[in-house]
Amino acid sequence: MTGENFIGSAVYVHFDNRECIVESYSSTEIVCTTDDKPYVPDTPETIIEIEGMGLVATQDLVYRYVSLWSDTETWGGDIPPMEGESVAIPEG
């Protein structure tokens, strides 16, 4: 993610109450790696904290865990579309 003034002795990032391990950060960029998350319908939440500075204003930034196109979870437990089939994806 990119922004401004990510300056502090440590940076912590959480997506949906799951830690995103910070690999590196600078004053304008944070690079972190998340673990897999099982599908749970919920409201996405992004929390970024800079030690000594407090919470970062995320301006409604969200990170969404998504399943692969070929995963049956993506299709509500149904079989994924086959090559040549049409798919309608509603907005949102």
Q: 12: pLDDT confidence band, cut at 50, 70 and 90?
A: very high
Number of domains observed in the structure of the chain: 1
Quick check: is 19 in a domain?
A: yes
Summarize the confidence of residues 72-76 as an average pLDDT.
78
Alpha carbons 86 and 77: distance in angstroms, whole number: 18
- Taken in order 27, 46, 49, 19, the sign of the CA dihedral is negative
Q: pTM for the full model?
A: 0.64
Quick check: is 2 in a domain?
A: no
- Rg value, the chain, Cα: 17
Q: To which residue do tokens 């030690």 refer? A: 51
At 1 the pLDDT is 65
Quick check: is 90 in a domain?
A: no
Quick check: is 80 in a domain?
A: no
Quick check: is 82 in a domain?
A: no
Q: What residues make up the domain containing 52?
A: 11-75
Quick check: is 59 in a domain?
A: yes
76 pLDDT higher than 90 = no
